[in-house]
Structure 1
């Protein structure tokens, strides 16, 4: 499970840089944050290290990490809501399909795990 404080740090830093237009400066602390969270969102370590060679590429890495966190969260949340609606309507196959569609495109391991758990839940008999 990812460290929520780190993901919050990414969201906050990205908001300051992207939305508020504040300058980005790659520090040791920010580099460590990008390394840790890059791993969390399935960005290969060698790609992270390449991005950490300049402020510009590190800022792009920050944006990509924040995007994967935001988009993945929305995708999973919507899919779970839609799966619940379909399940309540008795459409178990449709509910499973919605969740499987997320697994077909999602790269963030945490979101994949959450989706797979949700997908497996209707099969539980306990």
Structure 2
């Protein structure tokens, strides 16, 4: 898997949101095909989405949404987990992580949640 440099997809999404048309260049296709699996979108689904400008734009929006929503959800959860942990509520912290893990689709964020679960298990 390529590195998780999502700045190119964020920049592309920002430009499209500002009204720039999404051009299906080799670079654009490469960005979306690289990042889609990194956010839990099957490569075949990404390939199909790149067959038209409208579906490619939907793919870009979904990739961008998963990155930003997952990041916010992860940040909030880790802050809440730390508050629980400091208060001695390891079970509550574990439940928060499990609840978010049940809905998170971005593999990188799932890995972070699992690592935090393992750290809690090491504390108990």
Please, what TM-score do these two structures have when normalized by structure 2? 0.93
Q: Identify which of 72, 77, 100 aligns with 2:70.
A: 72
Question: Is 1:124 the counterpart of 2:122 in the alignment?
Answer: yes
1:10 maps to which residue? 9
Q: Identify which of 96, 101, 104 aligns with 1:103.
A: 101
RMSD: 1.3
Q: Residue 2 of structure 1: CA displacement?
A: 5.8
CA contact (8 A) 1:2 1:110 kept: no
2:36 maps to which residue? 38
Which whole-Å CA distance do the structure 1 matches of 2:106 and 2:12 have between them? 20
Deviation per CA, 1:16-69: give whole Å up to 9, x if none.
Answer: 111x11111110111011001001111111111110101111111011001111
Q: Identify which of 56, 59, 67 aligns with 1:58.
A: 56
2:26 maps to which residue? 28
Please, what TM-score do these two structures have when normalized by structure 1? 0.92
Unaligned runs of 5+ in 2: none
Which whole-Å CA distance do the structure 1 matches of 2:32 and 2:15 have between them? 15
Residues 11 and 98 of structure 1: is their aligned pair in 2 closer, same or farther, counting only changes over 3 Å?
Answer: same
> How many residues end up aligned between the 2 structures?
123
Which whole-Å CA distance do the structure 2 matches of 1:2 and 1:81 have between them? 28
